[in-house]
Amino acid sequence: MGANANAAGSVVELVLRSGPAAKIVLLILLAFSVVSWGIILHKLWYLSRVQKQTGTFRDIFRRSTKFSEVQAVCRTFEQSPLVGIFQAGYAELNSQLKQAAQEMNSPGATPGRPTLKSLSAVDRALLRAAAVEVSKLERRLPLLATTASITPFIGLFGTVWGIMTSFQGIASVGSTSLGVVAPGIAEALIATAAGLFAAIPAVYFYNHFVAVVKDLTASMDDFALEFLNIAERNFT
């Protein structure tokens, strides 16, 4: 416990002793780290709710016998991307069926059951809605990717700058003893450590979130195909 406290204290001392350039680099890395952790925590909460609501909504959709029954529960599962896709397809379906019903009620029309004019139009509506939902799921992920890729280089820049400053100090003192060299090198390496501290969680969680979004995208594709199959079977 004492060793850990001493190590933490020495790191703080090195940060406080570092030059203005090193402190600016550390502040930039701290900002990246705070923002990325905010995104990580929000995405963990949000995607957990999305996955739970998506599974429940899909089960309701498969058990229901009418699209109107599914529409009635959509507000309860608004965070599921399947809801957006369903509502887009349902709106297109209703629009076409109403138009067909109006044409059948016109004078001289042949009575019968309203049918879809264009199943491909329903498919396009589902594809547009799916693209919108994927965009929502991927929101803020590029910032995580940016943090993962850029913070190690910012840290490396701080380290290179610190080493240059350290060598200048060595030249002015005229001594290369370990006591003279070590503090400057240690200060310089803190920037690299801070860059890695910001980058490693961002890389891990970015890959995790991309995998979750990919699974949800596959679920959306399956749902759209199910919707189209039901629409073709019942309204064509």
- DSSP code string of 22-35: HHHHHHHHHHHHHH
| Cβ neighbours around 113 below 10 Å, total | 10
Structure tokens at 40: 């990580």
| Local structure of 118: helix, strand or coil | coil
Please tell me the distance from the alpha carbon of residue 166 to that of residue 197, in angstroms, as a whole number: 23
Inter-residue contact 224 to 85 (CB < 8 Å)? yes
Please tell me the distance from the alpha carbon of residue 119 to that of residue 116, in angstroms, as a whole number: 7
Inter-residue contact 26 to 18 (CB < 8 Å)? yes
Please tell me the distance from the alpha carbon of residue 236 to that of residue 233, in angstroms, as a whole number: 6
Q: How far apart, in Å, are the Cα atoms of 204 and each of 40, 144, 148?
A: 10, 10, 9
pTM score, two decimals? 0.82
Please tell me the distance from the alpha carbon of residue 8 to that of residue 120, in angstroms, as a whole number: 64
Inter-residue contact 202 to 147 (CB < 8 Å)? yes
Segments making up each domain of the chain, as ranges: 18-235
Please tell me the distance from the alpha carbon of residue 49 to that of residue 120, in angstroms, as a whole number: 32
Residue 176: which residues within 8 A CB-CB, separation 6 or more?
A: 170
Please tell me the distance from the alpha carbon of residue 144 to that of residue 45, in angstroms, as a whole number: 16
Residue 152, pLDDT score: 94
Residue 98, pLDDT score: 84
* Amino acid letter, 191: A
Condensed to tens digits (0 to 9), the pLDDT of residues 3-27 reads 554 544 566 676 666 677 778 888 9
Of 127, 100, 131, 125, which is closest to residue 115 (Cα–Cα)?
A: 100
Condensed to tens digits (0 to 9), the pLDDT of residues 148-174 reads 999 999 999 888 887 777 777 666 666
Average pLDDT per block of 10 residues along the chain, 236 residues long: 51 67 87 96 96 94 89 92 94 85 63 74 93 94 95 90 73 60 71 91 96 96 93 82
Residue 18, pLDDT score: 66
